[in-house]
Amino acid sequence: MTDLNLEHWWQPFTNVRAFQKNPRVFTRAEGSFLFREDGGDVLDITAGLWCCNIGHARREVADAVRDQLMQLDYAPPFQFGTPPAFQFATRLMAHTPEGINRIFFTNSGSEAVDTALKIAHLYQFARGKGSKTRFISRQQGYHGVNIGGTSMQGLPTNRHGFPLLQEVDFLPGMLDISRNAFSRGCPEHGTDRMTDAFEQIIALRGADSICAVIIEPISGAGGMVPPPQGYLQKVRELCDEHDILLIFDEVITGFGRTGSAFAATEFGVTPDIMTSAKAINGGTVPMGGVFVKDSIQQTIFDNTPDTVPEFFHGNTYAGTPVAAAAGLAALDIYESEGLFTCASGAKGEHWANTLHAMGDLPQVIDIRNYGLLGAVSFDPLDAPAKSLGPRIHQRCYENGLLCRAVGDHMVMSPPLSISESEIDLFAERFRKSVLEALG
């Protein structure tokens, strides 16, 4: 039991009263492992919160952060710049889809989402289409916790009780276990049903009122659900046809999760705006960003008087030299170790095979995977709905495995640097934990 005082930190998305009775505290990390207070190792099959894609505690990043802190810890990003931020932005563009060559740095995914929504609005105003103010999002979508992103959230518990933007419609969610159970990669069914719903919203609201659609290419916090075949391509076509911007929220899918640097490249669909955060510098120093297509940025610049900022928006810690230095060091690792593409190679195949071999566990009703992402869904049967996931989660933790429970879906996103033998260790610990939790 911890001797820490647990009375003063109000932790995010945490039942603090339950935590105080059952504290779970990590004190150290290395590679694919976190270490508990009692010294026990916990295989981190979540890469933190989908962010430690290069593995934990990389010395190269630590050295870069320390050196940068001593060289230039901070300078204001408003009307000034620092070499690491320009260098990082430039190097990132080698990995973005064609036509995307600018990044607006933020500190988090939530800020990236709200910034993206504002850029979309600004663009419509700049080109004289100020009536296009509505957004379309998707059920089960997660877009961070600021008011814009909360308004786009398709997860009811995260919206409840907050004052939200009203001009938002929702596409149907992508999870369809009744027709797509145990698919590998992108499932077969659902595109027509979901894009028909998109067309109905356009017919109801009128394309002249719609600013942008915001979706995760793969739904993350909604249960790790890959898009059905052809879905993203069809959404892009409808956006083009009706002059609606397409925003991909790549906060989870960016930086190698899918087998490409971005899901946009993986699926061959270029959005107009793309959000990112988390793994941008390996989850080490808070950082996010909004990638913007050249045509969007150019329209805004061309329609702004020379004497004022093009965008009256920004954060004190946007693109700090330290966060950017961490990003440059992380990018060296991504590039030199081939991490952006390893999820589509032998490692990804081993991951998919390992995951799908769990189908014989009791109460499993679906297994999904894409790249180095995965989910196993359980039927709660007579257990109170949503109690099974947390039970499995707790058994996993006790048996040395960190998974994520989203309701009764167990969701996984290992560090991209994970080894095949660590994937086997995951299978062993997960199996044991599920059997104990159901026993």
Give kind and range of the element (H or E) at residue 110: helix 109-126
Nearer to ligand PMP, 250 or 429 (CB): 250
Instruction: Output the smallest distance, CB 210 to ligand PMP, in A.
Output: 21
* Cα-only R_g, the chain: 22
Count of H-run helices and E-run strands, the chain: 16, 15
Amino acid at 128: G
Q: Is the separation of the CB atoms in 351 and 374 below 8 Å?
A: yes
Instruction: Output the smallest distance, CB 300 to ligand PMP, in A.
Output: 23
Instruction: Output the smallest distance, CB 332 to ligand PMP, in A.
Output: 23
Nearer to ligand PMP, 220 or 271 (CB): 220
Which residue in the shown chain puts its C-beta closest to ligand PMP? 109
Q: Is the separation of the CB atoms in 400 and 41 below 8 Å?
A: yes
- CB neighbours (10 Å) of residue 140? 23
Instruction: Output the smallest distance, CB 46 to ligand PMP, in A.
Output: 11
Nearer to ligand PMP, 251 or 355 (CB): 251
Nearer to ligand PMP, 287 or 328 (CB): 287
Nearer to ligand PMP, 235 or 434 (CB): 235
Name the residues that contact ligand PMP, by CB under 6 A. 108-110, 113, 142-144, 216, 220-221, 249, 251-252, 277
Nearer to ligand PMP, 120 or 277 (CB): 277
Instruction: Output the smallest distance, CB 168 to ligand PMP, in A.
Output: 16
Beta-bridge partner residues of 247: 214, 273
- CB neighbours (10 Å) of residue 176? 18
Q: Determine the Cα angle at 298 with ends 293 and 299, to 5°.
A: 105
| Whole-number Å distance between alpha carbons of 44 and 48 | 7
Instruction: Output the smallest distance, CB 83 to ligand PMP, in A.
Output: 25
Q: Is the separation of the CB atoms in 403 and 392 below 8 Å?
A: yes
Nearer to ligand PMP, 113 or 406 (CB): 113
Residues ≥6 apart with Cβ < 8 Å to 426: 43, 45, 354, 401, 412, 414
Instruction: Output the smallest distance, CB 137 to ligand PMP, in A.
Output: 11
